[in-house]
Amino acid sequence: MTQTDQQTIPVGAMIDEFRVTRVLGAGNFGIVYECENVHLDETVAIKEFLPTELARRDADGQIAPLSPATADAFNWARDRFLQEARTLWSLARPVPHRNIVRVTRYREANGSAYMFMEFERGQPLSDLLEERGTLTFEELRPIVAPLLDGLERVHAANVLHRDIKPANILIRPDGSPVLIDFGAARNVALSGETSVFTTYTPRYAAMEQHYPGGDQGPWTDIYGLGATLYRAVTGVTPKSASEQLLGHIQEPAAELCRGRYPDAFLQAIDAACALKPEDRPQSVNAWRAQLLSDLPAAEDATVVLPTVSATEVTRFSASSAGTPRTPTSSQATGAVAVEAGLPPPRRIRVWILATLVLAVAAGASAWYWWTEHRSDEEAERAAIEGSSRQPEDAPLRTEPEPTSKDRDVAETKPAPIPAPAVEPFAPHQRFSDRLNSGGSGPSMIGIPAGEFAMGSPVDEDGRNSDERLHAAAVDEPFAMSRTEITIEQFSEFTRAVGYRTEADRESACLRIDDEGVELVADLSLSWEQPGYPVTREHPVVCVTWNDARAYAEWLGEQTGREYRLPTELEWEYAARATTTTSRHWGDNLEVSCDFANTADETVLTGAEETRRIEGARSECLDGHLYAAPVATFQPNLFGLHDMLGNVAEWTCSVYDPVYGGGQAKCLDATQRRGPAPIVIRGGSWLTSPALARSAARDGLPSNLGLNTIGFRVLATNRPWEGRASVTTHGSADE
């Protein structure tokens, strides 16, 4: 085995008697390969444990911790991986069940661990529901009955799945179902968790999963399958338990679907979706009697479902099912296989605080790795288990364009239309483009082209190893929003197109816990209510990279000018504003409170001093416990406010720790698999001042929203062409 840029085993290498034929998916905690037995006619999928935050593959193929500081966490996580494998292996004993994904064996090797699984082909139920909306009772019955049998086997082994949802049910080409992705499985016979991480999907998770110490049992999985059936019959994503507790009542399936399904079937679905555990059926057998008894269809009834080709395979996904998704060209010929990356362990360095914990809190979508380029043939993957304050600027006039009313996801790609000429801006010019829907866009300022030293010198205080100093250049002028995008500006977009953020649609906004240590998913948070007092002039947060891209594309559609997120190179160039010091005001932290809202002595005047790490404050007062209204602090020499501090900001570039060229371009969202790790910059109100430097950088999955991360937009003198450009005019001296 040799080392590759993506840390994967090369095609043609061997894992025991199996030859690697292709990589099916890679996540932050593991890689899945399709392999063929060189002695027998057998194809398997092999999951290799490789946590990219903790370890890497050496030149000799061995996997080793990144440093002594990560060794303990690596060994702990590897042990949990093997425990998970044993749990899944036990489900196939004494006889494998056809409707449960099968782990055939597991082993340690190369300093890591491997899980061998049967290779399954099919289509996730989530994709089928996305295409069809709902399924008839005649289509659902031959799916439900085998799933109940499989789930009963799981419970008989004292195992709970704990993440049943449409994305984790694979429909084979013959129409039979298989329950996949036991990454959140728990052995109820043991006192502790057996999975590498514990997670759930809020809209399909029972109430007892939302808080520590909840009494979980078979009734917990029954809720997940009941919520899945609710989606299948109503066409509506179920409300989360937390939403229902807050008074957002879920309309019963028996009322929404009366006359279209047997009454007993609908009543049983509603019973499974009961909030209180004691109000649900307590076992699969009891629920089966309610769900499928006294119904005319035969147990072995054969139903013809939409054709699934042999190349269509399961999506190994932890995102909420039912979420609108625009297929890529490759998905038209074969479903793209995506390996769910497990949340990373405690990080050595992080923007939000000094750490990220070994398990991202429940409700966060699982983290995936990425592929930036692939041909149509390579895209046929297979796997098993599966997004200001307005000064009085002179608006630039543009010709009106039609407004899209149907955009809901960032990947929506309007058909290209002839774009009118845009009025060019000049360096240092302040302007706002007119919006076709009325009003003006964000206040922008022209940034001249130029060269600079990107990264940090080795003697800079707080420097990290991923800040390699190198020559870089911006070849063409661009304009940057003078402030972070505000709640008011983002609300204009959501009102215009009826947009719902990704966190609202499928997971939750993340915040730091009350001890200031871990990230937790909080369903009460949103971009309008981020968990602290805000006005319309505060920066919008709780938005994912996809939400930020959707807003930028809407600006392009409204103005006729190209708007997008800045590349990492453009962001640092704008943040430095011709300076070469660690911050645009210099290296003196004692005056930082005049220029940036970070963790400082203000916290000592409030009641939440535990939410900052001791010793990580500036010895000054910026006057803000949380985010401040935009433009509260002094701008840099380019006239940009809050480039450091206040809220961290999404860029459009994929995180690369060695600066291999990705910093100068945007990730092409149509060419990726799963949520890539996107660069965030600038630090936030919760950031240690040492991390609020022009060169400091980090990456997070594109589908996460935090109440410390927002964004600003970039504009060019080019006309809008239907979606954000995927290349820019930055360059770097490699």
Binding residues for ATP: 47
Q: Are strands 159-160 and 18-27 parallel, antiparallel or unpaired?
A: unpaired
Which residue in 100, 273, 287, 279 sits closest to 203, CA to CA?
A: 273
Question: Which tokens in the block code for residue 446?
Answer: 């022209």
DSSP 293-333: TT-SS-TT----PSP--TT-------SPTT---PPPTGGGT
In whole angstroms, how large is the CA radius of gyration of the chain?
Answer: 26
User: Nearest 5°: phi and psi at 431?
Assistant: -155, 165
Q: How far is Cα of residue 623 from the mean position of the Cα atoms in its chain?
A: 33
Residue 569's contacts (CB-CB under 8 Å, 6 or more residues apart) are 454, 472, 474, 653, 663, 664, 728, 730, 731, 732
Alpha-carbon span 440 to 438, nearest angstrom: 7
User: Under a CB-based contact definition with an 8 Å cutoff, are residues 394 and 492 in contact?
Assistant: no
The continuous run of DSSP H or E covering 245 comes out as: helix 241-245
Written as one letter, the residue type at 655 is Y
What are the binding residues? 47
Residue 252's contacts (CB-CB under 8 Å, 6 or more residues apart) are 266, 270
DSSP 472-533: EEE-S-EEEESSPPBHHHHHHHHHHHT---HHHHHS-EEEE-TTSS-EEEETT--SS--SS-
Alpha-carbon span 718 to 632, nearest angstrom: 31
User: Under a CB-based contact definition with an 8 Å cutoff, are residues 726 and 637 in contact?
Assistant: no
Q: Are strands 395-396 and 430-433 parallel, antiparallel or unpaired?
A: parallel
Alpha-carbon span 702 to 672, nearest angstrom: 11
Alpha-carbon span 335 to 327, nearest angstrom: 9
Other CB atoms within 10 Å distance of the CB of residue 613: 15
Alpha-carbon span 253 to 584, nearest angstrom: 58
User: Under a CB-based contact definition with an 8 Å cutoff, are residues 687 and 599 in contact?
Assistant: yes
The continuous run of DSSP H or E covering 18 comes out as: strand 18-27
